Amino acid sequence: MKNQLLSINDLSKDDVLSILSTAAELERITEGPTKKLPTLRGRTVVNLFFEDSTRTRISFETAAKRLSADVINFSAKGSSVSKGESLKDTAQTLQAMGADAVVIRHGSSGAAQRLSDSGWINATVINAGDGTHEHPTQALLDAFTISKRFPERKSDFSGLKVAIVGDILHSRVARSNVLLLTKLGASVTLIAPPTLLPVGVESWPVLVSYDLDEALEEFDVVMMLRIQLERMQNFYFPSEREYSRRYGLNEDRLLRMKQSGIVMHPGPMNRGLEISAASADSSRSVIVNQVGNGVSVRMAVLYLLLGGASLSEVSQ
């Protein structure tokens, strides 16, 4: 496994399976009387968040603390320095503080890559969402959630049909999930209005549909994406009501799903827009499980990236 996690492309299939099995084992350990393990004692994890986030930051913080790492939360909100400079200055500050890992969330695609390639910092870089590019730990926790819901598959998703519905254009979650789920063998269908599909989507290893009702009965997993209202100034669809009617997961559609089908959403949800309250709270919904699973998966990622000797330590 590489010494960083910037994209799902950094992971081989074996790496992914090892993350998922480690997460399962860590979950079992931390379900017991003790939630805390001594493994990362003395290591420092910095949460460097240039964008707002509730669950990702709290999830990484919880994961690091359960492994006994020291956690520094660095919220860069309000900084008016231009991006390149601020990232560099910040990185050098973190380097001086002796950070072992930097978990970065940034509004610009490629920010995590830049931080990792720049040589400003020696720490392990973990991408917690960069622009509209990738959000690898979200995809990993989604895969973990699916594998727990379909335990007989043992993390082999071949033949599993997954629909990702909504704003694919702006979604880093969708990009990471397409890479990861297809790596594990799933068949992924993107469902969205044409305006919310990225240019070049025909070259992705997925099926594309503009109609949610066309084959809803076939999917084992329906993953709803958030309509990012802050990015909707460009009139991607006529009205929220129309979007909701054509692409929202309401009760009628929920009832049409397969008996074993599950509903996912990376959060935060716009209840009543892309997903109805009843769908979000139904027994098919694993949305709350996704949040809890996020901690186990991030513990696994932190352990596998930081728990052993780093490459430089091995070569010594």
Query: Binding residues for other proteins, per CB under 8 A?
Result: 1, 18, 21-22, 25-26, 28-29, 32-34, 36-39, 303-305, 307-309, 313-314
Q: Is 57 a catalytic residue?
A: no
Q: How far is the CB of 236 from other proteins (least distance, A)?
A: 43
Catalytic-role residue among 55, 148, 246, 271:
55
| Closer residue to other proteins, CB minimum distance, 26 or 115 | 26
Q: How far is the CB of 37 from other proteins (least distance, A)?
A: 5
| Closer residue to other proteins, CB minimum distance, 116 or 296 | 296
Tokens linked to 239: 């009205």
- The Cα–Cα gap between 8 and 146 comes to 17
Q: How far is the CB of 309 from other proteins (least distance, A)?
A: 5
Catalytic-role residue among 43, 114, 135, 298:
135
- The Cα–Cα gap between 56 and 295 comes to 9
Q: Which residue has the tokens 């992705």?
A: 204
Query: Phi/psi of residue 139, each to 5°?
Result: -65, -40
Sequence-separated (6 or more) residues with CB below 8 Å from residue 129: 51, 53, 56, 105, 106, 135, 138, 172
| Closer residue to other proteins, CB minimum distance, 18 or 228 | 18
Collapsing DSSP states into helix, strand and coil, what is residue 90?
A: helix
Q: Is 55 a catalytic residue?
A: yes
| Closer residue to other proteins, CB minimum distance, 39 or 93 | 39
Q: Is 62 a catalytic residue?
A: no
Catalytic-role residue among 56, 90, 124, 132:
56
Q: How far is the CB of 194 from other proteins (least distance, A)?
A: 44
Q: How far is the CB of 263 from other proteins (least distance, A)?
A: 30
- The Cα–Cα gap between 312 and 50 comes to 29
- The Cα–Cα gap between 49 and 200 comes to 30
- The Cα–Cα gap between 272 and 306 comes to 41
| Closer residue to other proteins, CB minimum distance, 208 or 304 | 304
Q: Is 105 a catalytic residue?
A: yes
Residue 98's region, left for phi above 0, alpha for psi from -120 to 50, else beta, is left
Catalytic residues: 55-56, 83, 105, 135
